[in-house]
Amino acid sequence: MYNIMADMPTPMEPPLHPGTGQPCGPEDLAPIFPMNLIEQEMSTQQWIDIPEEILDKYAIWRPSPLFRARNLEKALDTPARIYFKNEGVSPAGSHKPNTALAQAYYNKVAGTKKITTETGAGQWGSSLAMCCSFFGIECKVFMVKISYNQKPYRRLMMETWGANCTASPSTETKAGRSILEKDPDSPGSLGMAISEAVEEAVADENTKYALGSVLNHVMIHQSIIGLEALKQMEMAGDYPDVIIGSAGGGSNFAGLAFPFARDKINGKQIDIIAVEPTSCPTMTRGPFAYDFGDTVQMTPLLPMHTLGHNFVPAPIHAGGLRYHGMAPLVSQLILDGIIRPEAIHQLETFKAGITFARSEGYISAPECNHAVAMTIREALKAKEEGKEKVILFNWSGHGLVDMASYESYFRGNLADHDLPQEQIDAALKDLETLPKPRQGK
Ligand SMILES: Cc1ncc(COP(=O)(O)O)c(C=O)c1O
């Protein structure tokens, strides 16, 4: 596994303790995570060996295929060569099992009996449920309420893999009850669900919490995507000019992009684009600031692009992209000019997903359609400019359990959500009293 911490152009600022505001030590994270994952979280070692037990299970679906999208190229009549890495081939249907497997394994080694987590669209929750079942660990998932209602099949996948799935905010935790008291109809958010999952983990020493994105160790586990892609592109005799991934907390994007970002840091010319929804514009409109990862301020403060821990995005169908923050590593690389963020409206992403489905056949998850839409924009730009660009994007997951969102699109029930500046300003007020990073804006 590759750890970009070793190659960062600017050293990372540390996470801060939520109570004292001082840099977090390993012991501060110990109530939440097992020590072997905390070590990875803080590691600056460039390469980390993948244990045999993980490799054995990866073999169920890895290496994932890299395809040339010749039919999409034809449909767009573009001179661009488009490649995509198909992470939808995992049993859970997305890239999320890459880290779920590693996290379940390291927890097992550390003696964890139960893992709690949050999930948006259900991709992460179902992935963790599957991997916990591989290692005989109990799994409890707090699922954002809007997604819980929109996506009953993901809940059933979690149950099939033996997990317990609860709609969040719930009455099962103090955090959930306090949120429901203020807003009984709250649609939920990833920030709220994280608060509930962390609260339950902290209450019992044999229970740990797992996060499906954002943190350094998740980016390390996902690097397998880019490492495979580097080899596969070499086999295809090509190298990407443009790399694209959708970004919710940043993990599928980073997984594909970081091994190539290493080449960019060392002088290669690559345009590396992270795509987010216009209705949750963390990277394109959120400042770089210290903020909590969750709504009720239990997690460490992370230096990241953020819309504020109380920001509740519009209920768009790309549930996995409705997060107020962004991985600190992705955020820092945006500041360093290695990554370029872009935001796209929901309707354009569905239109792109349908173009992709009608040319390549694959039906993408709504999150993944953000990467597809950006790829189509770049391919059409290459056509306009008459350039033979090589585009590589991460097809992060299939949408076969998300067909209700396609139905809403076909029936004309989806809208683009313009986010007024006042709403962002109001949510950012909560950051005023928090410590500021060196490069804060
Ligand atoms: C298919 C798919 N793509 C992308 C994402 C966004 O998450 P991340 O930015 O961590 O890759 C999700 C999150 O649930 C997802 O399910």
Q: How would you write 247-276 as a 3-class SS string?
A: CCCCHHHHHHHHHHHHHHHCCCCCEEEEEE
Ligand 1 touching residue 315 (CB < 6 A):
no
Residue 270 CA to residue 339 CA, distance in Å, equals: 9
Is 87 touching ligand 1 by the criterion CB < 6 Å?
no
- The preferred substitution site among 90, 117, 190, 213 for testing ligand 1, maximizing ligand atoms within 8 Å of CB, is 213
pLDDT at 316 over 80: no
Q: How far is the CA of 347 from the centre of ligand 1 (A)?
A: 18
The CB of 188 under 6 Å from ligand 1? The reply is no
368 lines ligand 1 (CB under 6 A): yes
Residue 256's pLDDT band (cuts 50, 70, 90): very high
Please tell me the distance between residue 320's alpha carbon and the centre of ligand 1 in angstroms.
5
Among 55-64, 183-192, 341-350, name the one with the lowest average pLDDT.
183-192
**Considering only CA atoms, which residue is closest to atom 10 of ligand 1?**
251
pLDDT, residue 441, reads: 54
Using 50, 70 and 90 to split pLDDT, how confident is the model at 315? confident
Angle between helices 97-110 and 35-42 (to 10 degrees): 130
| Ligand 1 center to 367 CA (angstroms) | 6
Tokens describing residue 432 = 């005023």
Cα–Cα distance for residue pair 10/4, rounded to 1 Å: 11
How many whole angstroms from 213 Cα to the centroid of ligand 1? Answer: 8
Report the C-alpha dihedral over residues 38, 40, 41, 43, rounded to 10 degrees. 120
Residue closest via CA to ligand 1's atom 5 equals 320
Is residue 73's pLDDT more than 70?
yes
Please work out whether the CB of residue 254 comes within 6 Å of at least one atom of ligand 1. no
pLDDT band at 440 (very low <50, low <70, confident <90, very high): low
Q: Which of 251, 101, 137, 103 lies closest to 190, judged by CA?
A: 251
> Ligand 1 centroid vs 90 CA: distance in angstroms?
14
- At 160, list the tokens: 């099939």
Percentage of residues of the chain with pLDDT beyond 70:
100
Q: Is 252 in the pocket of ligand 1 (CB under 6 A)?
A: yes
d(CA 13, CA 357): 42
Ligand 1 neighbour 304 (Cβ under 6 A)? no
- Render pLDDT for 206-248 as a digit per residue (tens, 0 to 9): 999 999 999 999 999 999 999 999 999 999 999 999 999 999 9
247 CB within 6 A, ligand 1:
yes
At 150 the pLDDT is 80
The sign of the torsion formed by the CA atoms of 39, 57, 208, 20 equals: positive
pLDDT at residue 305, rounded to an integer: 98
Residue 345 binned pLDDT confidence (cut-offs 50, 70, 90)? very high
| Per-residue pLDDT at 313 | 85
- pLDDT value of position 320: 81
For ligand 1, say whether the CB of 94 is within 6 Å of any of its atoms: yes
Dist. CA 244–CA 229, nearest whole Å: 13
* Mutate which of 126, 127, 211, 246 for ligand 1 pocket (most atoms within 8 A of beta carbon): 246
Ligand 1 atom closest to 248 (CA): 9
Longest dimension (CA), the chain: 60
Determine if ligand 1 sits within 6 Å of the CB of residue 64: no
- Residues contacting 300, CB < 8 A, separation 6+: 15, 16, 17, 18, 24, 28, 29, 292, 293
Residue nearest atom 12 in ligand 1 by C-alpha distance: 320
Residues 6+ apart with CB under 8 A from 108: 135, 136, 137
Kindly give, in sequence order, each residue whose CB lies less than 8 Å from that of residue 388, ignoring residues fewer than 6 positions away: 79, 80, 81, 382
CA nearest ligand 1 atom 4, residue: 367
Q: What is the per-residue pLDDT for 147?
A: 85
Nearest Cα neighbor of 16 from 293, 403, 207 is 293
For residue 191, pLDDT beyond 90: no
Helices (H), 328-387: 328-335, 346-360, 368-385
Q: For ligand 1, what atom is nearest to the CA of residue 120?
A: 14
Q: Which residue has the tokens 């609260």?
A: 199
b/e for 36-57, b at 16 or more Cβ within 10 A? ebbebbbeeeeebeeeeebeeb
Residue 244: which of 72, 65, 378 has the closest Cα? 378
Q: Ligand 1: which atom is nearest the Cα of residue 364?
A: 1
Q: Which H helix or E strand runs over 196?
A: helix 190-202
CA 99 – ligand 1 centroid, Å:
12
pLDDT, tens digit, for every residue of 115-132?
Answer: 999 998 899 999 999 999
3-state secondary structure of 335: helix
pLDDT at 7 over 70: yes
In contact, 398 and 406? CB cutoff 8 Å: no
Query: By three-state DSSP, how is residue 236 classified?
Result: helix
Closest by Cα among 94, 92, 143 to 365: 94
CA of 252 to the centre of ligand 1 (A): 6
**What are the tens digits of pLDDT across the range 144-172?**
998 898 888 999 999 999 999 999 999 99
